[in-house]
Amino acid sequence: MPADKVVAPPSFDAILLPELQAGDADDLEPAASLDAFAFDGLTLETLALGGARIEASRLAGVRAAEADLRGTTISEAIVEQLDVPVVRAARTRWRDVRFEGGRLGSAELYEAEWRSVHFVGCKLGFVNLRGSELRDVQFADCVVDELDLASTEALRLAFPGTRIRRFDVSRATLRDVDLRGCDIEELAGVASLRGAVVDSAQLMLLAPLLASEAGIRVVD
């Protein structure tokens, strides 16, 4: 059976934003309630939105030395060219969020809940999603230094055109995870790949790891 018949792709609804009101740095504060805002070209020392609710909004060209988004809820949002070296965003909830371009450095995103989240053309450093729940998530044409999905539950996850230097899926639960088209340099947790789909070239690269996990010695 063709692989595309046995792996369901991530599903995304179009994000249709309403008429937006221009926001400024004073609107970006912890526990803020931001509905139908547009933030463009801001440069901040800290993007402090811990516990905030962001809905039907757009952030474009926002730069900050660090971001505190812990406990934040983001829904129906478009984020373009965000540049933040340090992101603290544990236990966040994201639904219908699209990231386009931009750069994130060290991103602490563990124990998050993501639904319909799409990264396109982003450069990402260390992305820690340990213990998260991911549904309908895609990283397309991205470069990722390290992606940690240990103990994560993932359903309909794909990585077309993406390069990942180190990928950890230890103790993860995977369903309809499509790794085809993804260049993975180092993989940890190969025993947890049940529920993932790879192509034949990837399988050849994984063969030594699979043999080691099964206790098979290969001697020519």
Domain boundaries, the chain: 19-213
Q: Cβ distance 100 to 80 under 8 Å?
A: yes
* CATH code that applies to domain 19-213: 2.160.20
pLDDT band at 26 (very low <50, low <70, confident <90, very high): very high
The pLDDT of residue 219: 75
Task: Compute the residue count for the chain.
Answer: 220
pLDDT (0 to 100) of residue 5: 64
Average pLDDT, the chain: 93
Is it the case that residue 220 has pLDDT exceeding 90?
Answer: no
Residue 18: what pLDDT? Answer: 97
Residue 201 pLDDT level (bands cut at 50, 70, 90): confident
Q: Is residue 3 over pLDDT 50?
A: no
Helix (H) or strand (E) holding 192: none
CA distance 99 to 81: 8
Q: What is the mean pLDDT of residues 194-202?
A: 88
- Asked whether 15 and 96 are in contact (CB, 8 A), the reply is yes
Question: What confidence tier does 207 reach under pLDDT thresholds 50, 70, 90?
Answer: confident
Average pLDDT over residues 149-165: 98
Note the pLDDT tens digit of each residue in 82-95: 999 999 999 999 99
Tokens of 6: 């046995």
Residue with tokens 């803020």: 32
Report pLDDT for 191: 86
